[in-house]
Structure 1
Amino acid sequence: MLDKIIRFSLTQRVFVLVVFGVFLTLGMSAWKNIPIDAFPDISTTQVNIIIKAPGMTAEEIESQITTLVETELLGIPKKDILRSTTKYAITSITLDFKSGTDIYWARQQVNERLLSIWNQLPANIEGGLAPMSTPLSEMFMFTIENPSLSITERKHILDWQIRPLLRTVEGVADVNILGGETKTIQFSPDVIAMSNANITIDEIQNHLDAANINGSVGRINVGTESLIIRTQGRFQNINDVANLVVKNDTGKLYHLKDVGEISFNSLVRYGAVTKDGHETTEALVVALKNANTAQVVDSVVEKLNQIEKTLPKGTHLNVFYNRKNLIETAVDTITSALIQAIVLVIVLLAVFLGNIRASMVVATSIPIAVIITFFLMYQFGLSANLMSLGGLVIAIGMIVDSSVVVVENIISQLSKNTNLPRMHLMYRASKAIAAPVFSGTVIVIMVFVPLLSLTGLEGKLFSPVALTIVFAMCSALVISLTVIPVLASFIISNKNLDTPSYLVKLQQAYTNTLDKVLKAPSLTMIVFVIVLIVSGVLYTFLGKTFMPVLDEGDIIVQLEKSPTISLKESLDLDKQIEKALLANVPEIKQIVARVGSDELGLDPMSLNETDVFMELQPRDTWEVATKSEIEDKIRHILLQYPGINFGFTQPIQMRVSEMLTGSTGAVTAKVFGADITQLSKIAHDISLIVKKTKGSVDVQTTIIEGGDYLNVVLKPELASQFGMSVTELSHYLNIQVDGFKAAEIIKGKIKTPIMFANKSNSGQISSIKELEKLMVIMPDGTSLRLKDIADVTLKVGPALVERENAERFAVVATNVSGRDMVGFVEELQQNVNAELKLPSGYYVVYGGEFENQIRATNNLLTVIPLVLFLIVIILFSTFNSLAKAGLILANIPFALMGGILGLFVSGQYVSVPASIGFIALLGVAVLNGVVMLSHIESVKYKTKDLFKLVSNAAGDRLRPILMTATTAMFGLMPLVVATGPGAEIQKPLAIVVIGGLFTST
């Protein structure tokens, strides 16, 4: 069959070139339109429910909302993990589905079950399904800066000018507004005036509802016209609210302003944003799932440029995070490596072939294969990202292997048979080498196909790598058997085909050395065994980790303070820290920090939690050499603030960790159990053990206890005497503390809440005694102090309740520095088991990146035997001999030795990329063996002297084997020396393959 393909190509040369011309045109079009991103989509199918319950404690929300919703969701098909985080006034419930689940089906299932129990939940709640985004959808962040505008005015601009317009951009799921204050019209009741007027809050609410409305009546015909009649009562301004007429039970009329104060104010805040030590407002653009990030960011920037022109004079939109910057930097790193690899490979071709025309023929296989690969990537929905382009770089050196073997044999045939027709020699040379080229390339392809079976994060990351390599190698194989013979027939002549003198000398030196080696097989085997044993010993010293950390360029520090801290104190502490960092760490360009919860509730943090985002200066301006040194400087500053916990992460890294484990940190220890106090104690004990374990840094323990609560318990006798219920008292106290939304003024698209609240949005009550003295209006109009009708006591309760699959848990998280992650976790497990005895019903689960490493290792242990089995089948079908297949497989240990030595010398750990490098070696190392043994088989009739046969055949194949090995090695060299973001992930793979090729060749 292969000879028929070659014959057809050489007899229909123009047709073959036209066909490939069409594919090149399609590939160029695909290259221009292919989506570009930093990473493949590694997010799970995830549905998030956000429910806000103003005034409710974490325990109350858990018992009345979270537990009920979770129970309903547990029965959903294809469910993987159900997590929830419950804090004061909010709960976030996240449901992860199994890979491949349709997001629309998943959201429908969750929404149906949520709606079925919504009426069973407390009446004052609001929320539902969060926007259809992913944990990695946060792609663009900016603050609005104008010293002449208050944070209330800035938030108003974000809410009503910027957010609505950005939501019209294709691919934007929502725009999350953080910080600032929301303007309100506030009614502050005058208890004495209301008591004298005999008017209650409920009566005011009823009059408000009845007045603040526009009604539809119908139509009347006036002459030839039809006029629509409506009643109009909606409030237009603060005066309309103040002049609302309220009637008491005796029929006497009052204006609202007669029984309270009407003023402009703001909503109670559950979060804030600071920039460089000053308060500001922030917008965070969230992309839809599967959106083209680069295109969406471009559209957002274009829209913001239009919007900025319409904003008040002096207003500046300060962009501090743009995902496209990371995309461009990472893609530029890999693209640069790709270009360097192509140049190196072409130079090597010229050196080894010693013939410009032959080098040109082989070199054409690279752009053709690359462009066709882009076409296939586009057809299969792959984006051009760090991983897929990295796969293309890995394949560059191997793309030319099959073409090198074909062209080298064509040159050999043309130089030896000058009297035969050129086209016949082209056909004969290509046919002779077609079988080993085909089987060798198929082996390389088969090595990468099983990687598509990887699951979890490693599967989503490395499936694009495997697919790109498969596409490139398939393209290269077809090109070598069709286009290359055709181009050779047009370009390569019969002149100047002699092997360069330096290669002749190299060949002579090689055959002389090989003769000596063949005459001393025992010594050769002893050396081999010694090196093999040394490599095995070295392997035991190699640490294990999941994957090198991608340097995203920015730093996030997560701060955790006392759980009872107020928003004002938390903000003041954040400002102090920001100013200290800017003064002492010149590598920081700007700092934007957010404390507490965001408006949408996508990331519900408490008032004691702050994410500090640090944008760094250009690297060439740094006073230190590495990012870790900057982190050390930051760590030194933060240690000067007692009572805070902190941990280092990055924007994407943080969201990936939260997506996989529900918390941040390279390693997490989750303690499961029922009692909050016991969970908190066990987590504290584990954190002490973690801190003593070598390699732990930035240890954080989730503070689940420490929330202070004032319990107000009605005295039954007095409550019954005055007709006061718990519901009515809660409603009244809510006005005095947080306030509640009674109505709103609507003017165009702008809505202004009308709040019933105390005179200050932060309340006038600053002590327990003041609360006890608070005057409460009874249903009969009587005014009594709160302490006369209720007991007020201070209690300590949970500030946070986290659950996974309906079980409570506490978590201890840590990063690992200076040692491998797997070794760290193994030591930590031993220490915990030795030092800590868990009560009955409590258990610890270790997770984080370590969990990914274990799963990936188990998957690879399944993949490797499958790869070897496929290789044996192909070798047997090629040579019809298990002995010969075994002989070729004997080269694999040599390749593995080189990979191990490469990791040891470079100081890299055994990671998923390194493991995939070892799998790649299985195919690459076999390829040269196939070429060598095939040639030996083809010339064995020339002599019966086995040593001479092997020596001569090896000498004949030296050039193509050196070319395939060196082009593969030098094609990967740019990944080893690259320093930009993204190079960290591909570097272990490149080191393993280069080392393995060196020793196996």
Structure 2
Amino acid sequence: MSLSGFSIKRPIFTVMITLVVVVVGMVAVSRLPVDLMPEIVFPTLNVSTSYENTGPEEIEELITRPIEEAMSAVPGVEEVFSSSSEGSSSVRVMFSWGVNLDAAADDVRERLDRVIGRLPEDVDRPTLRKFDPAQSPILMLGALSNLDPVLARRIIDEQISYRIERVPGVASVDVFGGREREIQVNLDPDKLKALGIPLDLIITKIRQENIDLPAGIIEKGNYEILVRIPGVYTSLDEIKETVVVVREGVPIQLKEIASVEDTFRRITRIVRINGLPGTRIAIYKQSGKNTVEVAEGVLKEIEEIQEDIPQIQLVPVSNSSQYIKSAIRNVSSSALYGGLLALLALLVFLANVRSTIVIATSIPISIIATFALIYFGGFTLNVMTLGGLALGIGMLVDSSIVVLENIF
């Protein structure tokens, strides 16, 4: 018995199966993650290394070149591209398509472990990242305030960023611009030269004094008391009174050879919002999350933040969810118009209302069933999947005509 004959002889069973497919498809549509493009994994890894206060030539010689040599020996590498700038090194490793990127990342980490010993001692450990074009900010905010710039940046870092990161689907928040608080120790070179105090000794002394140390356990009867020696600086006076060295039995404090100031970092980047100095806040979403839902959740949280912290004005600068909704709306409307025009053409050429209604019913049911397959397949609702559905409408019309001709 053919499928068409089985369906005609058992109409109730056929209707129930169709309703189940429609219900599952509708539920899948409501839960499908929405994004602009499908997730694409490029076979590229990026090794970033930071070495502050170092020129590009020294960065290339001391860091970039050893890492390049190590990466060139990794199996499956097709091309190695590097960039050296002041204080940072970036090495991009490109593999052939189809390579297992997780296994390649393990090989790269192994090579990095071997080359770390050749790098300067005080350089930051190289970080390995996958090249993911989807990990771009979904939302950019600008922060404006009449408060002290250092205080405004501190509120953004400690309160606003923390609250945004709690929104479901948010992976991280990047704050850029503004004035960051910094304690500066400005040394007097003449005094250092006269006393014969090396610079590395001062740095070591400050680091040693600015730590908390565990001092063991004191047992007293049935109790165990944890002992800790607090040593973290809590005021400028504590920093100034740090003993750097002892000369002929006389301690030399830091305030005698340097000035200690509570100020902000040197400004190297300027952010302007609506022509005024401000701070940029970039928000990144977690992989596989619905971009539109995450952006809407962040905007809702921002409204609550504005009520709690009215001194700082948060202005949306860019919102990728709006572009995504507009793009999906355009593709969806194009598919709808194409389907309606196809049905109109069928009605004109077939001159049979009943056959046209059958075909018109098969198109939405098939599309809704496709949404269920997209959901269970782990895909996202994006421009590519909707474009495929739009093209599939034409094939549905052709298939429906063939089935009708075979039935009648």
Query: What is the TM-score normalised by the length of structure 1?
Result: 0.38
Inter-partner Cα distance in structure 2 for 1:108 and 1:302:
40
Does structure 1 residue 83 correspond to structure 2 residue 84?
no
| C-alpha displacement of 1:405 | 4.1
Of 390, 395, 398, the match for 1:393? 390
Of 121, 124, 127, the match for 1:123? 121
Does structure 1 residue 321 correspond to structure 2 residue 357?
no
Alignment-derived partner of residue 343 in structure 1: 340
Aligned positions of 1:370-381 closer than 5 A: 370-381=367-378
SS of the aligned residue for 1:272 comes to coil
Q: Given the superposition, is the C-alpha separation of residues 296 and 103 from structure 1 closer, same or farther in structure 2, using an over 3 Å criterion? A: farther
Q: For this pair of structures, how many residues does the alignment match?
A: 407
| C-alpha displacement of 1:370 | 0.7
The answer (yes or no) to whether the contact 1:172–1:288 under 8 Å persists in 2 is yes
Alignment-derived partner of residue 331 in structure 1: 328
The answer (yes or no) to whether the contact 1:66–1:93 under 8 Å persists in 2 is yes
Which of the pair is proportionally richer in strand? 2
Alignment-derived partner of residue 147 in structure 1: 146
Q: Given the superposition, is the C-alpha separation of residues 259 and 159 from structure 1 closer, same or farther in structure 2, using an over 3 Å criterion? A: same
Q: Given the superposition, is the C-alpha separation of residues 274 and 73 from structure 1 closer, same or farther in structure 2, using an over 3 Å criterion? A: same
Q: Given the superposition, is the C-alpha separation of residues 165 and 129 from structure 1 closer, same or farther in structure 2, using an over 3 Å criterion? A: farther
| C-alpha displacement of 1:145 | 0.9
CA RMSD of aligned residues (A): 2.7
| C-alpha displacement of 1:366 | 0.9
Alignment-derived partner of residue 134 in structure 1: 132
Q: Given the superposition, is the C-alpha separation of residues 61 and 200 from structure 1 closer, same or farther in structure 2, using an over 3 Å criterion? A: closer
Alignment-derived partner of residue 44 in structure 1: 42
Query: What is the TM-score normalised by the length of structure 2?
Result: 0.89
The answer (yes or no) to whether the contact 1:37–1:294 under 8 Å persists in 2 is yes
Aligned positions of 1:29-428 closer than 5 A: 29-129=27-127, 134-138=132-136, 139-150=138-149, 152-169=150-167, 171-197=169-195, 199-311=197-309, 313-407=310-404, 409=405
Alignment-derived partner of residue 15 in structure 2: 17
Q: Deviations over 1:283-339 (max 9, x none)?
A: 22234444443343334334444444443x331111111111111010010111122
SS of the aligned residue for 1:283 comes to strand
Inter-partner Cα distance in structure 1 for 2:23 and 2:330:
26
Alignment-derived partner of residue 984 in structure 1: none
SS of the aligned residue for 1:56 comes to coil
Alignment-derived partner of residue 475 in structure 1: none
SS of the aligned residue for 2:271 comes to strand
Q: Given the superposition, is the C-alpha separation of residues 157 and 68 from structure 1 closer, same or farther in structure 2, using an over 3 Å criterion? A: same
Inter-partner Cα distance in structure 2 for 1:358 and 1:211:
86
Inter-partner Cα distance in structure 2 for 1:131 and 1:306:
34
| C-alpha displacement of 1:37 | 1.1
Counterpart amino acid of 1:377?
I
Q: Deviations over 1:83-112 (max 9, x none)?
A: 222112211112233444455434333222
Q: Given the superposition, is the C-alpha separation of residues 303 and 110 from structure 1 closer, same or farther in structure 2, using an over 3 Å criterion? A: farther
| C-alpha displacement of 1:237 | 1.7
Q: Given the superposition, is the C-alpha separation of residues 298 and 181 from structure 1 closer, same or farther in structure 2, using an over 3 Å criterion? A: same
SS of the aligned residue for 1:184 comes to strand
Inter-partner Cα distance in structure 2 for 1:192 and 1:250:
20
Q: Given the superposition, is the C-alpha separation of residues 366 and 39 from structure 1 closer, same or farther in structure 2, using an over 3 Å criterion? A: same
Which of the pair is proportionally richer in helix? 1
The answer (yes or no) to whether the contact 1:53–1:90 under 8 Å persists in 2 is yes
The answer (yes or no) to whether the contact 2:140–2:283 under 8 Å persists in 1 is yes
Q: Deviations over 1:138-183 (max 9, x none)?
A: 1221121113342x33332333333344445554443333222321
The answer (yes or no) to whether the contact 2:33–2:288 under 8 Å persists in 1 is no
| C-alpha displacement of 1:378 | 2.0
SS of the aligned residue for 1:300 comes to helix
The answer (yes or no) to whether the contact 1:198–1:249 under 8 Å persists in 2 is no
SS of the aligned residue for 2:278 comes to strand
| C-alpha displacement of 1:69 | 0.6
SS of the aligned residue for 2:2 comes to helix
Q: Which has the larger radius of gyration?
A: 1
Inter-partner Cα distance in structure 1 for 2:397 and 2:58:
66
Inter-partner Cα distance in structure 1 for 2:50 and 2:356:
68
| C-alpha displacement of 1:355 | 4.1
Inter-partner Cα distance in structure 2 for 1:360 and 1:137:
45
Inter-partner Cα distance in structure 2 for 1:102 and 1:167:
31
Q: Given the superposition, is the C-alpha separation of residues 223 and 231 from structure 1 closer, same or farther in structure 2, using an over 3 Å criterion? A: same
Aligned positions of 1:447-596 closer than 5 A: none
SS of the aligned residue for 1:271 comes to coil
Aligned positions of 1:499-898 closer than 5 A: none
SS of the aligned residue for 1:209 comes to helix
SS of the aligned residue for 1:86 comes to strand
The answer (yes or no) to whether the contact 2:176–2:281 under 8 Å persists in 1 is yes
SS of the aligned residue for 2:142 comes to strand
SS of the aligned residue for 2:153 comes to helix
SS of the aligned residue for 2:201 comes to helix
The answer (yes or no) to whether the contact 1:111–1:129 under 8 Å persists in 2 is no
Q: Given the superposition, is the C-alpha separation of residues 102 and 34 from structure 1 closer, same or farther in structure 2, using an over 3 Å criterion? A: farther
Identity %: 27
Q: Deviations over 1:212-265 (max 9, x none)?
A: 222212222445543221212221121211122333332212332122211112
Inter-partner Cα distance in structure 1 for 2:185 and 2:234:
16
Q: Deviations over 1:823-876 (max 9, x none)?
A: xxxxxxxxxxxxxxxxxxxxxxxxxxxxxxxxxxxxxxxxxxxxxxxxxxxxxx
Counterpart amino acid of 1:147?
N
| C-alpha displacement of 1:80 | 4.0
Q: Given the superposition, is the C-alpha separation of residues 57 and 316 from structure 1 closer, same or farther in structure 2, using an over 3 Å criterion? A: same
Q: Given the superposition, is the C-alpha separation of residues 100 and 160 from structure 1 closer, same or farther in structure 2, using an over 3 Å criterion? A: farther
The answer (yes or no) to whether the contact 1:140–1:297 under 8 Å persists in 2 is yes
| C-alpha displacement of 1:131 | 5.3
Structure 1: unaligned runs, 5 residues or longer:
410-428, 433-1001
Q: Given the superposition, is the C-alpha separation of residues 268 and 249 from structure 1 closer, same or farther in structure 2, using an over 3 Å criterion? A: same
Alignment-derived partner of residue 554 in structure 1: none
Inter-partner Cα distance in structure 2 for 1:219 and 1:32:
57
The answer (yes or no) to whether the contact 2:144–2:277 under 8 Å persists in 1 is no
Counterpart amino acid of 1:91?
S
SS of the aligned residue for 1:126 comes to coil
Counterpart amino acid of 2:374?
M
SS of the aligned residue for 1:159 comes to helix
Inter-partner Cα distance in structure 2 for 1:170 and 1:110:
32
| C-alpha displacement of 1:384 | 1.5
Inter-partner Cα distance in structure 2 for 1:299 and 1:105:
36
Q: Given the superposition, is the C-alpha separation of residues 30 and 169 from structure 1 closer, same or farther in structure 2, using an over 3 Å criterion? A: same
